[in-house]
Amino acid sequence: MDEDDFVKMVEDLQKKIEYEEEATYSQTVIREYRNPSNFGMIENPDAFGEVKGPCDDTMKISLRIEDRKIRDACFWTDGCGATIACGSMLTKMIKGETLEEAADITSEKLINALGYLPEEHLHCSKLAVNTLQKAIKNYHKD
């Protein structure tokens, strides 16, 4: 196989992957995991939560809180694209919200914001929401 054949094979494979992604995920999910917002960790956060999900993905959420409002939110995960999309969208949803408003976000609300998640990835939204709940709970402990 020469270099041109190899390049063509890689391009064809990339097109197939993109086609399968578009058939499986909403455009919002694809956008969020390809270019996630708020990925990383806040140094010395006011609140922090870490949860390991049923498929062995870990998510961490760190929050900066002022006057009981979430001023900044970041997430980190070693999970799949759906988990990355959930962390990205969730942190965007909670910025500027009160702790009570953020605590009211459910897995279903997160899925609606993403447009759709296939059944085999519904646990990713639960992982993100559970991690947020843990961060809020840890804030109240302190």
* Per-residue pLDDT tens over the stretch 86-131: 999 999 999 999 999 999 999 999 999 999 999 999 999 999 999 9
Sheet holding 69-77, edge to edge: 47-52, 58-66, 69-77
Q: CA–CA separation, 139 vs 142, rounded Å?
A: 5
Residue 14 has pLDDT above 70, yes or no: yes
Domain boundaries, the chain: 3-141
Residue 141, token pair as written in the block: 């402990």
pTM given for the model: 0.89
CATH architecture of 3-141: Alpha-Beta Complex (3.90)
* Per-residue pLDDT tens over the stretch 52-88: 999 899 999 999 999 999 999 999 999 999 999 999 9
